[in-house]
Amino acid sequence: MRFAKPFTLALLATASIGVIALPVLGRGAPESILPPGFGDPPDAKPSKPSSKPAPRPAAAPAREPEAPQLDIDIDAAERSSSASSEISGAGSSGGSAGGSGSVAVQVADGTEETNDTELLDTPIMPDLPPYARRPVELVGVIGPESEGLEVNAFGVTPGRFLGQVLKGINAPVASRWASITLRRALLTRAKAPAGIDPADWVAERTWLLLKMGEADPARMLAQGIDSDRQTAHMRDMALQAALASADPASACPAVEHAPGVYKEAQWMLARAVCNALSGESAQAAALVDSVADKGLAKQIDTLLAEKVVGAAGNTRRSVKIQWDKVTKLTNWRFGMATATGLEIPATLLPADAWRMRAWRARAPLRTASARMDDALIAAGLGVFSNQAMVDLYGAAYDETDPAERSGKPYMVLRDAYAGESSGERLDALRKLWGETGAETIEGYGRLVLTARAAALLRPEAGLGATADQIVSSLLTAGFVDQASGWLNSVDEGSSAWAQIVSANPDAVASVDPGDITGLDEGKSGLRAKFFLAGMAGLGKISTEQANDAAESLEVALGRQDAWTRALEKAVLAGEPGTVVVLTALGLQGNAWSAVDPVYLYRAVSALNRVGLTSEARLIAAEAVARG
């Protein structure tokens, strides 16, 4: 399948504009969204790597995001206690809607100590020679040369505070562009903040990436620490990253260095899988049988482990997996099933299981055609780019018999690129967008899919709502120049016009308060408020204009709370990494309807002032498109 050659495009980057000082115009006391726990007595020391067994706390149930706390003092962060470096099966994900459930194998109550010492206490690999060891204080995948942040991105902000912030982000983040920026910050090769074990800091970053649906980046980050330097928390996260990416072998270094007394079922089964992958099939089978005989795990978990062991060791043990009695899809079940090419029933993976659907979108053993629906979710979350989507649809085209291609989405995408007329290409785009709007994750993913096809269209007037979608689609890929080309073809005061002005404030000489308050409110009724927040945060309107529009729209732009004070402190300290993670904390939610316009204003302003101007503009434009 051949698509038109994509344009080479660059995001606009302009000088930062100072924040506007605005008076408090709000009504009622604000709520803080910082995670709870600040002000507790501090731990004596951050956690240290240990060769002793880590206690397994009870798994925390999945939950919906809790109401923000009101009484948090940002300065108390330096005195706050560090969360335990151990995680339970449910991890610290909290409750993104449709959470993917427990990340560990369920162990029966009253688990007994086993006598499998010979099976578990295998020799640990020798330490690497000094010249080959990697520093744990500087772990990451990208640097400034490849869109990462600077090495001092987190500055002097206490590590325990940052760790709590990462724990408090219940992905998905409402803004796709904020999520993309957060991924870059988490993957940056930056110095570990003081006050937290460097390995635990990597573990928190890994777990947040997993919650965001970023399976492969999480695995890459987890592999940045030498296995013999991992803490218990880091070993847990290395295993979870391996499960999410359906790559059990990537967890084996962590499994090899896990103390032999790690006799929870998930570690025993993981050891069995790694034994099989290293050619020790008999020992692997014995471990699986031991777990099954003692009832340490659910039958489905031992059967899945047995299937992986059989596939790795090329044994003749036949394993039949039946899902009819399974009521919950854990990370273990997802990873083991996906690694062997088993199809997980739709009843166990609902449409709002965002992270697992994003994980499954890149599963290598699934066909490209089977991954297209999940890929729309991954694109809407920011996991997949436009280029990745086009490549996937092209692969689906290639793998399908020519007689069966008619009417398939990749054929419609082909028409969007290569239709004989502008009308034919527009009709194809409308078919791909369907009835789902940009406010949904899947609907926004459809706009991501069509970005390069939309870039081939010539601007024309009179398209109405279609022009709004075209501009939205262009901006999902950061095609600011192409979007700006539509400025004279769209109606002033329309959603398309507001998106263009947000992404490229220099495109118009000025914006009047009437242009803001008169904007179509959109489905959520927040579009005008979001436009105001973006214009104020980018400094496109004066303080007086912002006050006038804020009063008309009943938005308290000057409101402050613990989160706004933390953000301002990070801006003044020049810490872009801290600003990015706090921005994600403020913009979290399954939809933009959950975002406070005041938080959007503060986030856009903060990003703009620490040099992330392009990101700030694209987040502001996205808010208008999805409001």
Let me know the angle formed at the C-alpha of 477 by 382 and 593, rounded to the nearest 5 degrees.
Answer: 55
Q: Which of 594, 588, 611 is nearest to 35 (CA)?
A: 588
Confidence of residue 264 (pLDDT cuts 50, 70, 90): confident
Where residue 96 falls among pLDDT bands split at 50, 70, 90? very low
pLDDT at 17: 35
* pLDDT attached to residue 32: 53
CA distances from 534 to 13, 468, 503, 511 (A): 16, 18, 9, 12
> Which residues are CB-neighbours of 402 under 8 A, at least 6 positions away?
none
Percent of the chain with pLDDT over 70: 78
Q: Pick the closest to residue 451 from 506, 380, 367, 527 (CA basis).
A: 380
Mean pLDDT rounded to a whole number for the chain: 82
Residue range 249-271: mean pLDDT, rounded: 84
Output the pTM of the full model.
0.81
- Please tell me the predicted confidence (pLDDT) of residue 28: 43
Spatial separation of the C-alpha atoms in residues 553 and 598, rounded to whole Å: 12
Q: Which residues contact 511 (CB under 8 A, 6 or more apart)?
A: 501, 505, 535, 540, 541, 545
Provide mean pLDDT across the span 429-450. Answer: 95
pLDDT at 63 over 60: no
- Cα 166 from Cα 581, distance rounded (Å): 7
The 10s digit of each residue's pLDDT in 480-506 is 999 999 999 999 999 999 999 999 999
- Give the per-residue pLDDT at 34: 56
Q: What is the 3-state secondary structure (H, E, C) of 43-109?
A: CCCCCCCCCCCCCCCCCCCCCCCCCCCCCCCHHHHHHCCCCCCCCCCCCCCCCCCCCCCCCCCCECC
Least-confidence region, from 12-16, 116-120, 603-607: 12-16
Q: What is the pLDDT of residues 548-573, one digit of tens each?
A: 999 999 999 999 999 999 999 999 99
- What span, in angstroms and rounded, lies between the C-alpha atoms of 292 and 309? 14
Q: Indicate the pLDDT class of residue 352, thresholds 50, 70 and 90.
A: confident
Contact 457, 450 (CB under 8 A): no
Query: Per-residue pLDDT tens for 177-232?
Result: 999 999 999 999 999 999 999 999 999 999 999 999 999 999 999 999 988 889 99
* pLDDT for 192: 96
For 529-548, the pLDDT digits (tens) are: 999 999 999 999 999 999 99
What's the pLDDT score for residue 385?
97
pLDDT by residue (tens digit) across 380-399? 999 999 999 999 999 999 99
**What would the mean pLDDT of 576-584 be, rounded to a whole number?**
98
Residue 123: pLDDT above 60? Answer: no
Residue 456 confidence (pLDDT) above 50:
yes
Question: Does the pLDDT value for residue 466 go beyond 50?
Answer: yes
Residue 313's pLDDT band, with cuts at 50, 70 and 90, is confident
Quote the CA–CA distance of 85 and 392 in Å, as a whole number: 38
Is 381 in contact with 354 (CB distance < 8 Å)? yes
Question: What integer pLDDT is reported at residue 134 of this predicted model?
Answer: 83
| Among 473, 522, 513, 475, CA closest to 494 | 522
Q: Which of 84-88, 98-102, 287-291, 395-399 holds the top average pLDDT?
A: 395-399
pLDDT band at 70 (very low <50, low <70, confident <90, very high): very low
Write the single-letter amino acid at 71.
D
Q: State yes or no: pLDDT of 113 exceeds 80.
A: no
Q: Which residues contact 22 (CB under 8 A, 6 or more apart)?
A: 536, 543, 546, 547, 550, 557, 558
Percent of the residues in the chain that have a pLDDT greater than 90, as a whole number = 70
CB 368 within 8 A of CB 392: yes
